[in-house]
């Protein structure tokens, strides 16, 4: 899931000294700035515009970011719910949320030993229902989000936090159990939405699974929900109680979901029917031609940490296991053999996928790192790893040495276990074509590969038998990425404590059920290490461990933002580290 992000607005020297080299934002030489921009723009008038038309070809299923299954959910929610602070294009926090300022050591907001951070909140903020926002709402959000029984998809942000308490109505203190070099872990960006206590107090813990408030949350953001039709469309009206009297510019918003990327691109570039088209995963040549010939819209791309990857299932997805299917205490029948995992990686042609399906570096770059950004975190070591080199002969030799023998049908087997696999992803032309490339090469070395595509509307739903969270397949493919500081991303995706299972409604992020003490130890070490150089080195070590152990097979570093924006739309400044809607209050025409 894509999607997530964090940093501090301290000035570069202070950032590096406090948080480490991981926090220096990557500057992409392929970034195309959004049309219009926000600098020097005239002051707009609230409600002056008509309807803002946004098209996400993957439709939202909830408006609560803490149970979101992807950016289509958290982005749709961001028009209503706000975090303490956002993360801008450079990865640094922006005080455009509920915090009055970004806390630092210099202003006394961050403890010198990095054990606490004190947030001063904006005063006079109202919820869209007219009630007063206060620090109690912030403290309540922590209790909701960090109750294990809530099974929040943002639960990884809770690790290491001792408490979040309201010191007074306008001050919140986040306290860590031990020194936390990355003090801005909680309450920022896509995972930091603050909920209204009065509305959600009956939805904590197990009751979160059936919460009506998820469909129509009361927020402090620029818009309020008029109507939500799940997996279809959300309509919004401007929030008359929004704190800036001149914002938002648009009187209403229509956030349409569903369809497919090609149709979204045509609606933006050719017919001009919409103002913003998200995640245009269209053939690179076709998309570039559409954008270059369009009088209606411009293509905006921004690179971040999003990596298309193949995820391996370390648990057993056999249907014969019933309720134990893909549960973490089961073992995969052949991925427990590292030689099989290595052979699969060596039979993976990243360059052909990147060049053939992503076209140019504008849309995707072949990579063997799960930490592709920031640059300080991107390991140079993987270029020399044999599992990162496409070599069918080496893959065959690896399986031969491990005793996997080809049968008459060409499929290898050992001790009665055949290398037959189910490979799933969501319905999407580029992903389905990637499946075909991988299937061909994997089958050439002795695997038998069946393909399945699940509609995106259900692919990231924990309740879907064919979805990514339950992972009732052998391998699956999607994109995900982390923050400028990747600690939470690493922890949430591959540590033992974040394994998805029936017991947590399959909402936690370690869907592959990968678990090793060495990786857990590296993540734990990074949480407490304050030296910038050492923190960067630990992140690279964690990346290298995952690649050498073939816990995951990275394919392509994708542009984090590949969206179409109407040429008449101003103020859009997409961030690779936050929701694409993070500054929607500033959008005008």
Give the C-alpha distances (Å, rounded to integers) separating 372 from 100, 311, 366.
33, 16, 10
Alpha-carbon gap, residue 586 to 570, rounded angstroms: 8
Contact status, residue 462 vs residue 504, Cβ threshold 8 Å: no
Alpha-carbon gap, residue 349 to 128, rounded angstroms: 51
Q: Is residue 522 part of a domain?
A: yes
Here the tokens at position 328 are 């973490």
Phi then psi for 434, rounded to 5 degrees? -60, -40
Q: Is residue 276 part of a domain?
A: no
Q: Is residue 502 part of a domain?
A: yes
List the beta strands (DSSP E) in 127-268. Answer: 161-168, 171-176, 223-229, 233-238, 250-257
Q: Is residue 21 part of a domain?
A: no
Residue 292's contacts (CB-CB under 8 Å, 6 or more residues apart) are none
CATH number at residue 498: 3.10.105.10
What does the H/E/C string look like for 108-146? CCECCCCCEEEEEECCCCECCCCCECCHHHHHHHHHHHH
Alpha-carbon torsion, ordered 413, 417, 419, 424, to 10 deg: 170
CB neighbours (10 Å) of residue 7? 29
Q: Is residue 74 part of a domain?
A: no
Q: Is residue 401 part of a domain?
A: yes
* pLDDT for the residue numbered 42: 54
* pLDDT for the residue numbered 38: 40
Q: Is residue 479 part of a domain?
A: yes
Contact status, residue 520 vs residue 556, Cβ threshold 8 Å: no
| Continuous segment of H or E residues that includes residue 491 | helix 487-494
Alpha-carbon gap, residue 570 to 48, rounded angstroms: 14
Domain that holds residue 532: 303-559
CA dihedral (452, 455, 458, 462) positive or negative: positive
Q: Is residue 516 part of a domain?
A: yes
What does the H/E/C string look like for 551-580? CEEEEEEEEEEEEEEECCCECCCCCCCCCC
Structurally, the chain folds into a number of domains equal to 1
Question: Mind listing the pLDDT tens digit of every residue in the chain (589 residues)?
Answer: 333 333 222 222 222 222 222 222 233 323 344 443 444 445 679 999 999 999 999 999 999 999 998 899 999 999 999 999 998 877 778 999 999 999 999 999 999 999 999 999 999 999 999 999 999 999 999 999 999 999 999 998 998 899 999 999 999 999 999 888 778 889 999 999 999 999 999 999 999 999 999 999 999 999 999 999 988 999 999 999 999 999 999 999 999 998 889 999 999 999 999 999 999 988 788 888 999 999 999 999 888 888 999 999 999 999 999 999 999 999 999 999 999 999 999 999 999 999 988 876 678 999 999 999 888 889 999 999 999 999 999 999 999 999 999 999 999 999 999 999 999 999 988 899 999 999 999 999 999 999 999 998 889 877 789 999 999 999 999 998 877 889 888 999 999 999 999 999 998 999 999 999 999 999 999 988 878 789 999 999 999 999 999 999 999 998 878 899 999 999 999 988 899 999 999 999 9
Contact status, residue 262 vs residue 62, Cβ threshold 8 Å: no
Alpha-carbon gap, residue 435 to 423, rounded angstroms: 8
């Amino acid at each position: 899931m894509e999607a997530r992000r964090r940093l501090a607005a301290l000035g570069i020297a202070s950032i590096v000294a406090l948080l480490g080299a991981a926090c220096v934002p990557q500057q992409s030489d392929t970034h195309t700035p959004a049309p219009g921009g926000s600098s020097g723009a005239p002051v707009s008038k609230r409600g002056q515009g008509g309807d803002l038309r946004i098209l996400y070809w993957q439709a939202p299923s909830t408006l609560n970011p803490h149970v979101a299954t992807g950016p289509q959910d958290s982005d749709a929610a961001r028009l209503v719910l706000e975090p303490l602070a956002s993360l801008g294009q450079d990865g640094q926090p922006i005080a455009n949320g509920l915090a009055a300022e970004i806390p630092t050591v210099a202003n006394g907001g961050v403890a010198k030993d990095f054990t606490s951070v004190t947030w001063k909140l904006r005063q006079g903020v109202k919820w869209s229902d007219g009630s007063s926002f206060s620090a109690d709402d912030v403290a309540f959000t922590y209790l909701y989000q960090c109750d294990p029984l809530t099974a929040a998809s943002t639960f990884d942000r809770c690790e290491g936090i001792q408490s979040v308490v309201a010191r007074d109505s306008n001050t919140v203190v986040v306290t860590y159990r031990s020194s936390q070099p990355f003090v801005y872990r909680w309450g920022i960006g896509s995972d930091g939405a603050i909920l209204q206590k009065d509305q959600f107090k009956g939805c904590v813990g197990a009751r979160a699974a059936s919460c009506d408030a998820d469909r129509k949350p009361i927020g402090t953001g620029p818009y309020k929900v008029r109507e939500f039709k799940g997996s279809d469309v959300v309509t919004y009206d401007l929030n008359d109680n929004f704190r800036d009297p001149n914002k938002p510019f648009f009187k209403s918003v229509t956030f349409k979901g569903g369809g497919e990327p090609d149709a979204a691109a045509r609606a933006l570039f050719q017919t001009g029917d919409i103002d913003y088209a998200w995640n245009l995963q269209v053939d690179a040549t076709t998309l570039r031609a559409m954008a270059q010939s369009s009088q209606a819209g411009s293509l905006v791309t921004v690179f971040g940490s999003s990596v298309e990857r193949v995820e391996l299932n370390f648990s057993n997805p056999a249907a014969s296991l019933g309720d134990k299917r893909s549960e973490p205490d089961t073992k995969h029948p052949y991925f427990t053999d590292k030689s099989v995992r290595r052979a699969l990686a060596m039979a993976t042609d990243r360059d052909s996928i990147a060049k053939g399906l992503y076209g140019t570096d504008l849309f995707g770059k072949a990579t063997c790192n799960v930490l592709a950004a920031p640059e300080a975190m991107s390991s140079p070591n993987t270029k020399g790893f044999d599992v990162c080199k496409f070599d069918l002969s080496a893959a065959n030799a690896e399986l031969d040495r491990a005793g996997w023998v080809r049968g008459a049908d060409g499929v290898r087997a050992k001790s009665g276990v055949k290398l037959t696999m189910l490979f799933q992803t969501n319905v999407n032309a580029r992903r389905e074509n990637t499946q075909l490339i991988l299937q061909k090469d994997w089958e050439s070395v002795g695997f038998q590969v069946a393909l399945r595509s699940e509609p995106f509307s259900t692919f990231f739903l924990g309740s879907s038998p064919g979805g990514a969270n339950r992972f009732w397949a052998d391998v699956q493919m999607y994109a995900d990425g982390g923050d400028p500081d990747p600690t939470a991303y690493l922890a949430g995706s591959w540590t033992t404590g974040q394994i998805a299972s029936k017991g947590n409604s399959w909402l936690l992020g370690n869907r592959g059920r990968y678990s090793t003490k060495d990786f857990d130890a590296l993540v734990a070490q990074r949480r407490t290490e304050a030296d910038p150089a050492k923190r960067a080195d630990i992140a690279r070590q964690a990346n290298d461990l995952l690649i050498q152990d073939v816990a995951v097979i990275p394919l392509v570093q994708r542009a984090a933002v590949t969206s179409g924006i109407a040429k008449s739309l101003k103020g859009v400044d997409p961030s690779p580290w936050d929701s694409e809607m993070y500054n929607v209050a500033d959008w005008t025409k």
